[in-house]
Amino acid sequence: MNKIRTAIIGVLLSAVTVIHAQTVTSTSAGLSLSFGGVTVPAIAGTPITINGQTLLIATNASGGYTVVTYGAAGTNSFTPPNTLTEAGTWVQQALQNNNPNNKDYYSTNGEWDVSLGAAYAQNSGQAAAVLEVERYGVFSPNLGLGLGVLEGNQAGQNGTAAAYGMVDYRHPIGDVAFIGGLFAGYDNYTGHIMGGPKVKVEYRMNPHIASWVSVAYDIEGFGKTMTQVGTTISDPSGLLICGGLTYAF
């Protein structure tokens, strides 16, 4: 099992390196992602503006996250789900609203996707802000390679919770796309390698702005008891419920 896990992680991280313009950089402001000369700070509450379109993660009245975007490509806001039930309800609504004539919202000539959102770990109840940058079209129109970071805000623990690479494949059925993939990286809170499978549903309001939810299963520790953000948990492995907004260009 360990050999298989190591091999998967190696393939994922090697594949991501083909995106030469995309790097992870540590700055005085915190961890950031850089691509094509654009540096994106991975900090909740910091506006990210690309090509005149702004993305922002804000803390809402209930203490959770709301993601907003505004600019030339449109305006939208989204409160990420933090349970499987909420995620399932959103997916059902997206499918009901799907327009099969809008497959061209997903570029077949290659695109960058910058996503902001929130992740909720079902094993520990912790929340983290999500920043992902992904490139579609490197090898085929619907194959994406990317990097992501999770930034924590729980129990007085701030800073980078995790960094990871990912490989995704999407299947548009209209303005909705089903996406399946694998991710692998490092959990800074537990000090262990993390990774696993994920499924994602994306709903685009136009060719540039999309909302999305995903469910991933993070495999780490294999049943070991660990301390995570000052809390002892029996096993850090478990579901990650995520959601947010994407700007595609």
Q: Which residues pair with 67 in a beta bridge?
A: 57, 78
Stretch (H or E) spanning 59: strand 53-59
1 vs 189, residue with greater confidence? 189
Which residue ranges make up each domain of the chain?
A: 2-248
226 vs 171, residue with greater confidence? 171
- Helix ranges (DSSP H) in the chain: 2-16, 84-96
How confident is the model over 29-74, as pLDDT tens digits?
Answer: 444 454 444 444 545 678 888 899 999 988 777 777 899 999 999 9
State the DSSP code for 190: T
User: Residues 220-226: what's their mean pLDDT?
Assistant: 61
Confidence of residue 93 (pLDDT cuts 50, 70, 90): very high
pTM > 0.85: yes or no: no
How confident is the model over 203-213, as pLDDT tens digits?
Answer: 999 999 999 99
Q: Rounded mean pLDDT of the chain? A: 79
* Most confident listed range (47-61, 156-170, 197-211, 229-243): 197-211
**Inter-residue long-range contacts of 58-66, CB under 8 Å, 24+ positions, other chains counted:** 64/118, 64/127, 65/117, 65/118, 65/127, 65/129
Give the CB-side neighbour count of residue 183, counting CA atoms within 13 A.
Answer: 28
Q: Name the fold adopted by 2-248.
A: Porin (2.40.160)
Confidence of residue 159 (pLDDT cuts 50, 70, 90): low
CA–CA gap between residue 155 and residue 207 (Å, rounded): 38
> How confident is the model at residue 248, as a pLDDT?
96
Structure tokens at 116: 């902001």
How confident is the model over 172-198, as pLDDT tens digits?
Answer: 999 999 999 999 998 877 777 889 999
How confident is the model over 79-88, as pLDDT tens digits?
Answer: 999 899 999 9
**Residue 26, Cβ neighbours under 10 Å: how many?**
9
State the DSSP code for 138: S
Residue linked to tokens 């993390």: 194
